[in-house]
Structure 1
Amino acid sequence: MTDEVILDCQALVCPQPVIRTKDALANMAVGARLLVIVDNEAALSNVCRFVESRGHAVRAEDQGGGVHHLAIRKDVKASAAETSAVVCEPSGPQPLVIYIASEVMGRGDDDLGRVLMGMYFETLSHFARDISHIIFVNSGVKLAVAGSPALEELQSLEKMGVKVLSCGTCLNHFGVKEELKVGVLSNMFTILEVLAKAGKTLSP
């Protein structure tokens, strides 16, 4: 029977659960099993999404009290793909990432900034096929929650294939995590990974 590595990520803040899971998998043999213990929904979502994005199998078990056990098996195909990714040169058009760190556009008059931001998103749909991700951090996350004037445009962009990521720490800070209406709650590791792979980054 294959030994199982246990990784306790309780009480760790974003993005530590993802980083520690990544490091643990990197040092494990194909077929090995990893049990990650998390104690909040953000860590549960972020770790599961990271593991699945790498092609590994993951099963989440609710232990009660907000604690989840994530049973992960390192997959041979995923390991081969990760190795290939290191040596392959990118080809073709590189992705465009929209990075938004505020709910208003520009500095000066915030009322004008909100109007401009609305116009920005209305125009953005014309470039949807070139955009891979839209990332929200700081007060920018307010644009992805209930009541946002940009919500309809964002949902339309998501339907066109654009991935929308909102910083989980930022959503918690503003008390709007439960109001997220488009895209997914994300973490700093994933955000930096997307930015690092971007062919071009634009900010309003």
Structure 2
Amino acid sequence: MSQIIDARGKACPTPVLMAKGAIAQGAEAFTILVDNTTAVENLKRLAGNQGFAAAVREEEGGTFALDFTRGEGCVSCEEAVNSPLPPPGADWAVFVGRDIIGDGDRELGTNLMRMFFYTLTQSDDKPGAVLFMNAGVRLPTLDEQVAEHLKALADAGVEIQVCGTCLNFYGLTEQLKVGMVSNMYDIVTRMQKAAKVISL
């Protein structure tokens, strides 16, 4: 009988870390139980990165069971995390933890944020990723101008990761216009891979 990990009621990124712990201990197959779709998507992404297949079953009471089984042909997330950092200028990331730039006038701060992302779309040196947390998640959900700039960046190959816990907190999960619903583990991992991180 395979191991069963009960991650119901656990906040992001705990379910991912619990599954990662089982993988680190050498588990070839296990089942993890969660109670929200954000955790399901985060765990499916982890499975693919770690070389596992993840079959999802919806059970009673809003529970989802993900059956992890080791497969072949996937690049290990561990290898990606532990790979050497790229040289300066080769890769960088933008961390956005608020919906305005600066502490002064809010209207000015909003306009500066829009100008920042427009400027990025016009730059030859684009970031590898833009990472949104806390009030920053209002930008890819509520701000049409920023969302359009982010779509242009995504089309140019820039990763757009948006904190799922933050989206849930602000009630914005269904309003995400661009980007991937992510979690603390993936966002921290992406920051670790970058040669530099610019925070707004």
- For normalisation by structure 1, the TM-score amounts to 0.87
In the alignment, structure 1 residue 169 sits paired with structure 2 residue 136: no
In the alignment, structure 1 residue 68 sits paired with structure 2 residue 64: yes
- Summarize deviations over 1:152-183 as a string: whole Å, max 9, x none: 11111112111111111211121111111111
Aligned counterpart in structure 2 of residue 7 of structure 1, from 5, 8, 11: 5
Q: Which amino acid aligns with 1:133?
A: A
Matches of 2:107 and 2:161, distance apart in 1: 25
In the alignment, structure 1 residue 122 sits paired with structure 2 residue 109: no
1:90–1:115: structure 2 CA closer, same or farther, 3 Å change rule? closer
Q: CA-atom RMSD, angstroms?
A: 2.3
Structure 1: segments with no counterpart, 5+ residues = none
Matches of 1:59 and 1:41, distance apart in 2: 14
Aligned counterpart in structure 2 of residue 143 of structure 1, from 139, 144, 152: 139
In the alignment, structure 1 residue 182 sits paired with structure 2 residue 178: yes
In the alignment, structure 1 residue 43 sits paired with structure 2 residue 60: no
1:195–1:85: structure 2 CA closer, same or farther, 3 Å change rule? closer
- Summarize deviations over 1:96-132 as a string: whole Å, max 9, x none: 1111111111110010001111110111113476421
Q: What SS does the aligned partner of 1:12 have?
A: coil
Q: Which amino acid aligns with 2:165?
A: T
- After the TM superposition, which of the residue ranges 119-128 and 40-49 deviates more from structure 2? 119-128
Matches of 1:103 and 1:83, distance apart in 2: 32
- For normalisation by structure 2, the TM-score amounts to 0.89
1:94–1:73: structure 2 CA closer, same or farther, 3 Å change rule? farther
Q: Percent identity?
A: 32
1:86–1:104: structure 2 CA closer, same or farther, 3 Å change rule? closer
Structure 2: segments with no counterpart, 5+ residues = none
Matches of 1:177 and 1:83, distance apart in 2: 29
Matches of 1:147 and 1:87, distance apart in 2: 36
What is the total number of aligned residue pairs between the two structures? 199
Kindly indicate whether the alpha-carbon contact (under 8 Å) linking 2:47 and 2:53 is maintained by their aligned counterparts in 1.
yes
Q: Which amino acid aligns with 1:26?
A: A
Matches of 1:113 and 1:146, distance apart in 2: 15
Q: What SS does the aligned partner of 1:131 have?
A: coil
- Summarize deviations over 1:2-55 as a string: whole Å, max 9, x none: x411111111111100000000011125xx211111111111111111221223
Q: What SS does the aligned partner of 1:149 have?
A: helix
Matches of 1:25 and 1:9, distance apart in 2: 15
Kindly indicate whether the alpha-carbon contact (under 8 Å) linking 2:86 and 2:193 is maintained by their aligned counterparts in 1.
no
In the alignment, structure 1 residue 133 sits paired with structure 2 residue 129: yes
Name 2:20's counterpart in structure 1: 22
- After the TM superposition, which of the residue ranges 135-144 and 119-128 deviates more from structure 2? 119-128
